[in-house]
Amino acid sequence: MEIYQLRTFVTVAQQGHLTQAAEILHLSQPAVTAQIKALEEEAGISLFERTSAGVTLTEAGKLLLPEAERILAGSREMLNKARSLKGQPSGKLRIGTILTPELLRLGPLLARMRERFPLVQLTTMQGISGIILNEVRKKELDAAFFIGRNPYQTVHVQPLTELPYVVAAPPAWRAELEGVDWRTLGRQPWVGASQFSSLSKLHAEAWREHNIAPKKVHEVDQEQSMLVCVEAGLGLCMLRKEVAEAAEREGRLWVWGDAEISMPLSFIYPGEREDEPLLGLLREVLAEIWPQPAV
């Protein structure tokens, strides 16, 4: 059974005449006869009743016609899809991710890229800002999400949004710390952030600004790990406002004062790839998903 036979089957069924079908198909009538015959032979059942006035579908033919039409439609679809894929940009992009996929709006990004450029294959690698940044510099990654201020000229930055951070403390410390100043906070233990994370830079900046140098307990590398450390009463730390407030509502920690420090969330890529088409497309889509406020 071949598609050209099915096409003939359907055309004959529509026309009711082998001769007319042959004309439409740009075939001779004997060719049409032969195709239908071959189909009937393979199916083991007669598809048409022949009369001197033309042909009529048998009951079996009526039942099989929709199947044939489905197959034909499928083949048309496949060819259309193939042709629509022709000339589409294609390639692979490795992207570093940090924090949570939701925060990065990764789902919409991947979905829209897939929809618009189905041949572009995106792979993600989860990590923490410092490490990811290094991978981009080493070109192990083509681009990445990044949090914090970029220290390298060679790495270009496309800003996405600002993330506010607050100081989080164990709930039990509230009585002691409510209303105190940074100097007092400096005498408390702080939960240390991995040296590779942007959080550690945030801490360093904040401490320098307020001229304190607290004792660090442990050193963890994930937002959620910081959270559980604070909850367990190990020390203070800076957490994303959203996370900290959600945890505070559950009574897991207490947010100190209303000091807010913000860090930029951005998209980074090697400067020399500025004009690479694939990366350009990705950045366009990213810009749609993270619209920038008018300056």
Among 56, 85, 140, 215, binds a second copy (CB under 8 A): 85
The verdict on 228 binding DNA (CB under 7 A) reads no
Residue type, 111: A
The verdict on 57 binding a second copy (CB under 8 A) reads no
Least distance to DNA from the beta carbon of 45, Å?
14
Instruction: Tokens 């006035």: give the residue.
Output: 53
- Per CB under 8 A, which region of 28-36, 62-70, 178-186, 258-266 contacts a second copy? 62-70
Give the nearer residue to DNA in terms of CB position, either 20 or 222. Answer: 20
Least distance to DNA from the beta carbon of 203, Å?
47
Give the nearer residue to DNA in terms of CB position, either 54 or 264. Answer: 54
Give the nearer residue to a second copy in terms of CB position, either 77 or 176. Answer: 77
Q: 118 to 177, contacts with a second copy by CB under 8 A?
A: 118-121
- Per CB under 8 A, which region of 17-25, 81-89, 96-104, 208-216 contacts a second copy? 81-89
Distance from C-alpha of 26 to C-alpha of 102, rounded to nearest angstrom:
57
Residue 234 per-residue DSSP state: S
Distance from C-alpha of 17 to C-alpha of 64, rounded to nearest angstrom:
18
Distance from C-alpha of 74 to C-alpha of 70, rounded to nearest angstrom:
6
Distance from C-alpha of 286 to C-alpha of 289, rounded to nearest angstrom:
5
Strands (E), 38-141: 48-51, 54-57, 91-97, 120-126
Least distance to DNA from the beta carbon of 60, Å?
15
Among 14, 41, 50, 107, binds DNA (CB under 7 A): 50
Beta bridge partners of 158: 267
x-or-dash pattern for a second copy, window 212-251, by CB under 8 A? ----------------------------------------
Distance from C-alpha of 23 to C-alpha of 21, rounded to nearest angstrom:
5
The verdict on 211 binding DNA (CB under 7 A) reads no
Q: Which of 47, 8, 55, 50 is nearest to 27 (CA)?
A: 8
Distance from C-alpha of 19 to C-alpha of 276, rounded to nearest angstrom:
57
Least distance to a second copy from the beta carbon of 119, Å?
4
The verdict on 19 binding DNA (CB under 7 A) reads yes
| Backbone φ and ψ of 224, nearest 5° | -65, -35
Residue type, 86: K
Residues that bind DNA (CB under 7 A): 2, 4, 16-20, 22, 26-31, 33-38, 50-55
